[in-house]
């Protein structure tokens, strides 16, 4: 990797939209107009369940535990798991669990995932107790052995204590705004590694959308062109989701299921991205069932318009709606063409005077990927023209001449990036440029 890139590893220019934690670094006070939470749309309930009731819901796939959500660094060790079970047997109350209820009534657990998965795993005999100091007599015990007389099996009275333990859930229900949902989960996670909005979205909107984002993030072409973006906090998937959401919006493809009209963008990014994922989940997308222990090194490639495992060309995507198929093919071509032209400078604004290479710019990623997809048929023939026009864009040459706000392309990438005004401005400018290259050059 270029030494100049190391200082910006894992950074995104415009990252304040990804997490509340990043926003705080700006020391920027939001006004009530920036952060509207209509009280009548807030619906948060409280309910109590026994561990056995929740275990049955888990087995019936009503409670969702997303494996992508669980970061390796946060996985509990055997002693931590055992001590949780010990606490239940002693009678220590467990903290409150926070969940999001989707439109189908499913419960997506966000805060308390380690605790609940530990209880379920123990009830499934996936580990035995170890390292206990208070109830040391239970070290080595499974929840239930092959028969009641198994000497390393908990007696029914102790199993009952685990199954009957009272668990309190705070349930965020429809139609609570997405932005408020993320803010609430951010607050309850402040004691540990705080979740960013993409990690929460990934848990709440599991389905075709999350599989598709994960798949595109594993493409070799995408990895090559965004090599400084780490997948560890789903920043890579966030970049892709933003592109997909705005691309489908400009093509008037996404449907808002609340009113059955084409989805509009009104500066509420969280609502916009959530509705895009909801729409994508209504389409079919399936991949090979690979539980990848070495997930980070998985590399996919497009071969004959099919996404395949790079090492043996085995087909990875086994079912795909036309929306997904068209995006994945064009996305692959765009990533290759962008890398071919710009290499390590891809998706970066020009250096500031005397400065170093800037991080990948989030808004530039989505709009320039759109630009190259729209010009994929012209790329070979008009390569030099495309490069010249691109350079005019990122150097803001038209704005320097006219000084008109509507021509300030770079401004739309760096100031109030996700306002409706900035988004429409940069896509309007890029679409004029696309039309010019196609028709005039």
Whether 109 has a pLDDT exceeding 90, the answer reads: no
Q: What is the mean pLDDT of residues 352-368?
A: 87
pLDDT of 34 strictly over 70: no
Tell me what pLDDT residue 149 has.
61
Measured CA to CA, the distance from residue 239 to residue 217 in angstroms comes to 9
Predicted local confidence at residue 86, as pLDDT: 94
- Mean pLDDT value across residues 113-138: 92
**8 Å CB contact between 78 and 131:** yes
pLDDT surpassing 80 at residue 28: no
pLDDT at 136 over 70: yes
What mean pLDDT is predicted for residues 332-361? 89
Do 125 and 159 meet the contact criterion of CB atoms below 8 Å apart?
A: no
d(CA 365, CA 243): 7
Q: What is the pLDDT of residue 354?
A: 67
**pLDDT for the residue numbered 29:** 38
pLDDT in the model for residue 66: 65
DSSP string, 148-207: TT-TTB--HHHHHHHHH-EEEEEEE-TTS-HHHHHHHHHHHTTTSSPPPHHHHHHHHTTT
Tokens at residue 154, please?
Answer: 């908990």
**Phi-psi region for residue 347, left (φ > 0), alpha (ψ -120 to 50) or beta?**
left
H/E run at residue 262? strand 261-262
Burial pattern 155-170, b for ≥16 Cβ within 10 A else e, equals eeebbebbbebebebb
Give alpha helix (H) positions in 47-112.
Answer: 51-59, 78-90
Which residues have a Cβ under 8 Å from the Cβ of 165 and sit 6 or more positions away?
50, 51, 88, 94, 119
Predicted confidence (pLDDT) per residue in 181-200, tens digit: 777 766 666 555 556 788 87
User: Longest C-alpha distance within the chain, in Å?
Assistant: 87
Kindly state the DSSP code that residue 43 receives in the 8-state scheme. Answer: -
Burial of 348: CB neighbours in 10 Å, binned 0-12, 13-18, 19+ = buried
CA torsion sign for 14, 15, 16, 18 is positive
What is the pLDDT confidence band of residue 16, given thresholds at 50, 70 and 90?
low
For the chain, the structural domain boundaries read 3-27+197-439, 44-174
Q: Looking at the predicted structure, is the pLDDT value of residue 5 above 60?
A: no
pLDDT band at 376 (very low <50, low <70, confident <90, very high): very high
> What whole-number distance in Å separates Cα of residue 301 and Cα of residue 422?
34
């Amino acid at each position: 990797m270029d030494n100049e890139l190391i200082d910006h590893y894992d950074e995104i220019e415009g990252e304040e939209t990804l997490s509340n934690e990043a926003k705080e670094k700006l020391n920027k006070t939001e006004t009530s107009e920036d952060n509207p939470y209509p009280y009548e749309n807030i619906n948060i309930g409280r309910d109590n369940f026994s561990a056995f009731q929740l275990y049955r819901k888990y087995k019936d796939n009503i409670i969702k535990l997303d494996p992508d959500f669980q970061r390796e660094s946060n996985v509990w060790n055997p002693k931590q798991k055992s001590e949780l079970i010990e606490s239940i047997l002693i009678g220590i109350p467990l903290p409150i669990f926070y969940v999001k209820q989707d439109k189908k009534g499913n419960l997506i657990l966000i805060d308390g995932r380690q605790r609940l998965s530990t209880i379920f795993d123990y009830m499934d005999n996936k580990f035995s107790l170890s390292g206990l100091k208070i109830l040391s007599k239970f070290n080595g015990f499974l929840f239930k052995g092959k028969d009641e007389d198994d000497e390393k099996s908990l007696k029914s009275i102790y199993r009952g204590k685990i199954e009957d333990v009272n668990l309190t859930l705070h349930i965020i229900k429809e139609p609570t705004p997405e932005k408020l949902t993320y803010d609430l989960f951010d607050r309850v996670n402040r004691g540990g590694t705080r979740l960013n909005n993409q990690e929460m979205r990934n848990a709440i909107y599991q389905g075709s959308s999350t599989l598709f984002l994960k798949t595109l993030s594993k493409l070799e072409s995408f990895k090559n062109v965004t090599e400084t973006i780490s997948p560890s906090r789903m920043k890579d998937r966030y970049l892709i989701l933003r592109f997909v959401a705005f691309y489908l919006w400009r093509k008037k493809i996404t449907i808002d299921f609340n009113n059955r009209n084409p989805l509009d963008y009104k500066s509420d990014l969280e609502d916009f991205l959530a509705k895009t994922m909801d729409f994508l989940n209504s389409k079919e997308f399936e991949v090979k069932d690979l539980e990848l222990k070495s997930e980070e090194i998985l590399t996919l490639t497009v071969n004959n318009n099919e996404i395949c495992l790079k090492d043996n060309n085995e087909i990875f995507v086994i079912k795909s709606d036309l929306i997904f198929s068209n995006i994945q093919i064009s996305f692959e071509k765009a990533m290759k063409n962008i890398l071919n032209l710009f290499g390590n400078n891809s998706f970066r604004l020009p250096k500031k005077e005397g400065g170093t290479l800037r991080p990948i710019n989030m808004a530039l990623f989505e709009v320039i990927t759109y630009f190259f997809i729209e010009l994929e048929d012209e790329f070979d023939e008009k390569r030099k023209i495309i490069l010249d026009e691109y350079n005019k864009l990122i150097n803001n040459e038209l704005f320097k001449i006219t000084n008109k706000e509507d021509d300030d392309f770079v401004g739309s990438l760096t100031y109030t990036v996700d306002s409706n005004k900035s988004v429409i401005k940069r896509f309007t400018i890029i679409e004029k440029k696309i039309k010019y290259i196609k028709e005039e050059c």
